[in-house]
Amino acid sequence: MAQIDYPAILDEAWQQHLAPRADNAPTVISTFAGCGGSSLGYSMAGFRELLAVEWNDNAVATFKLNFPDVPVYHGDIAKLSVDECLQLAGIEPRQLDMLDGSPPCQGFSTAGKRQLDDPRNQLAMEFVRLLRGLQPKAFIMENVSGLVKGKMKLVFAEIMRELKASGYKVKCRLMNVMYFQVPQSRQRLIWVGMREDLGIEPGHPGGQGKPITVRQALSGIEQLDGPSPKQGTKLHQCCREMKQGTTAAEFYGRNWGFNLYRLAWDKPSPTFTKRGGACGLIHPVLPRKCIRQEYQAVMSYPRQVIFVGTEEDARERIGNSVPPLFMRAIAQHVMTILTNG
């Protein structure tokens, strides 16, 4: 069996990001851009980003450091008018190739209470508002799997109706990022829409191979000892005694340590959240939680990407983002559909 050199895969993807853009390169505007996970994926796919929209200060600082040539609207998307968006991007309606968006998912996530009236659920409607004003050829919208579970199906149906009513043919699919060179099992809903007048059916890419393991993902990253949790705490005991591939809840026999998991060398990482404390990933063999470089690797961020602030800031940015290699695959596929008609 051929060995997978995952650092080489990420380095090659980084070179795709750095490659000069042709004058006729496809264009994208990214809403809810975060630190730039989706943006990096689009750039790796050959897109030229005209504008990023984000309100979080640390995310904007990180984005600007890694994408110095991309204009950023740093503020509340609800206050960004269509006219200002067009002006900042330097385009007219119907000229944009792709509108991208990952509305904050806490209101939908299975990690939370999933409240129908959570105000964060309404941020998807801000994406719809800009979609109707910009009228791009296509759009991609991403969210969590919890949106098609239980009572959240009502919200999903409403979003679907609004997207179709905006003049787009729309398809939505639940996809796992681990089939797209991301060493993590992470299910996400992906909407793809094509403007109706183009007469093109939307579609999603097929998988690109077998899942990549934690061992492959962390190869080339020095196994630093790092800070150990405070002695005598449950977290300290978990980091020292939990077996690979188990959760803290399993270790203690009760629901403690939600989403705290010890990585297994020969499996992909599970989904992890932005939260710290009794959440996150424990190194497969070292008695500590994972560090930034390791979180970065299992989310398919090349080592060259720089994060601003503390380790906690970096984990939050990474945990909140879309894996770049996942978005690269989707963007490439949708652009191929658009090009070939």
Query: For the segment 197-233, what is each residue's pLDDT rounded down to a tens digit?
Result: 999 999 999 998 899 999 999 998 888 777 778 888 9
Question: Which amino acid, residue 74?
Answer: H
Domain at 6-211+320-340: CATH code: 3.40.50.150
pLDDT of the residue at 156:
85
Q: How many CB atoms lie within 10 A of CB 160?
A: 14
DSSP secondary structure of 273-311: -S--TT-EEE-SSSSSB--HHHHHHHTT--TT----S-H
Query: If pLDDT is split at 50, 70 and 90, which confidence band does 154 have?
Result: confident
CA-closest candidate to residue 318, choices 46, 43, 40, 101 = 40
Tell me what the mean pLDDT of segment 126-155 comes to. 88
The model's pTM:
0.92
Q: What's the whole-number mean pLDDT along residues 157-166?
A: 93
Question: Which sequence spans correspond to the domains of the chain?
Answer: 6-211+320-340, 214-309
Which two tokens mark 293?
Answer: 């470089």
Q: Is the pLDDT of residue 194 over 80?
A: yes
Active-site residue, selected from the candidate residues 105, 238, 279, 290:
105
Spell out the alpha helix ranges (H) of 106-152.
123-134
CB 169 within 8 A of CB 193: yes
For β-strands 184-185 and 269-270, DSSP reports them as: parallel
Asked if residue 151 has pLDDT above 80, the reply is: no
Chain centroid to CA 38: 6
- Residue 81 pLDDT > 50: yes
- pLDDT of 2 reads 55
pLDDT at 259 (0 to 100):
81
Distance CA(281)–CA(288), nearest Å, equals 9
Q: What was the pLDDT predicted at 208?
A: 87
Q: What tokens appear for 169 in the block?
A: 């043919």
Is 105 catalytic? The answer is yes
- Position 117 pLDDT exceeds 70: no
The pLDDT assigned to 72 comes to: 98
Residues of the chain with pLDDT > 90, as a percent, come to 73
List Cβ neighbours of 188 (8 Å cut-off, separation of 6 or more): 142, 143, 144, 145, 174, 175, 176, 177, 322, 326
pLDDT of the residue at 195: 98
* Residue from 2, 18, 3 nearest 302 by CA: 18
